[in-house]
Amino acid sequence: MPSDFLIDLIDHKRRVSTYLQNVANALVGRAVVHDNSKFSAEEYEPYEQAFPGLQKYAYGTDEFKAELRKIKPAIHPEYFKSGIEGMNLIQLVEMTCDWIAASERSGTDIHKGLLMNKERFNIDDQLFGVIERTVVELTWKSDAYQPDPNTLYPDMLMTGPFSNEKGK
């Protein structure tokens, strides 16, 4: 008969798994609807007009910022009245993925873009660190990040009775 601890552990894992699946489902939902508003008349036309300038000017330049002002209501962090502070974690992950994709499209180094966004959106150091580590996790664009392909969590060595280590 399994111990109370084992029963509790399995129940806890099931509960955590359920919530993680909810997060995954929410992210898939966000992926499906991301930028759908840009097809609306209110956003499509301003973006269509600003697009050449956004493509022409380097991210962070005064000219680029002038183009952004033309479409300010449609830019995600500005969509929230309190900016990034008004977002939940799901929305922050979507925004981070959006920034990665935008940096790839524009050829801007993601870490340089992150620093510009930190200043632009007044992101505090703690949240910036979370966003930056998430970018590294998603892109592996850091010499410091070299995941161990033999573990699920590269920077955590699992030990104990369920470890994949031999002899432990």
Mean pLDDT of residues grouped by 10 in the chain (168 residues)? 95 97 97 91 85 86 84 66 88 95 89 93 94 91 55 48 45
Segments forming the whole domain that contains residue 14 = 1-33
- Asked if 100 and 93 count as a contact pair (C-beta separation under 8 A), the reply is no
Q: What is residue 36's predicted lDDT score, i.e. its pLDDT? A: 92
In a domain, 162, yes or no: no
Buried-exposed string 1-39: b where 16+ CB fall within 10 A, e elsewhere: eeeeeeeeeeeeeeeeeeeeeeeeebeeebeeeeeeeee
In a domain, 105, yes or no: yes
Predicted pLDDT at 157: 45
Structure confidence at residue 76 (pLDDT): 59
Looking at residue 8, its pLDDT comes to 97
CA atoms of 119 and 103, how far apart (whole Å): 16
Question: Identity (one letter) of the amino acid at 79?
Answer: Y
pLDDT for 145 equals 52
Q: What angle do CA 4, 153, 162 make, to 5 degrees?
A: 35
Q: Do 70 and 122 fall into the same domain? A: no
Alpha-carbon gap, residue 106 to 166, rounded angstroms:
47
Quote the pLDDT of residue 19: 97
164 in a domain, yes or no? no
| Same domain assignment for residues 138 and 106 | yes
pLDDT at 154 (0 to 100):
47
Per-residue pLDDT, 149 = 55
What pLDDT is recorded for position 147?
Answer: 53
**Does 93 lie in the same domain as 132?**
yes
Look at residue 51 in the predicted model and tell me its pLDDT: 87
- Answer for the pair 133, 142: CB distance below 8 angstroms, yes or no: no
Cα–Cα distance measured from residue 98 to residue 76, given in angstroms and rounded to the nearest whole number: 9
Whether 120 is in a domain gets the answer yes
Angle at 121 between CA 120 and CA 127, to 5 degrees: 125
Is 160 inside a domain boundary?
Answer: no
Distance CA(155)–CA(4), nearest Å, equals 31
- In the structure encoding, which two tokens stand for residue 135, read together? 């970018």
Nearest to 70 by CA among 106, 46, 35: 46
Judge if 54 and 88 occupy the same domain. Answer: no
Q: Helices in the chain by DSSP H: which ranges?
A: 4-33, 41-56, 62-70, 76-79, 89-106, 110-120, 125-139
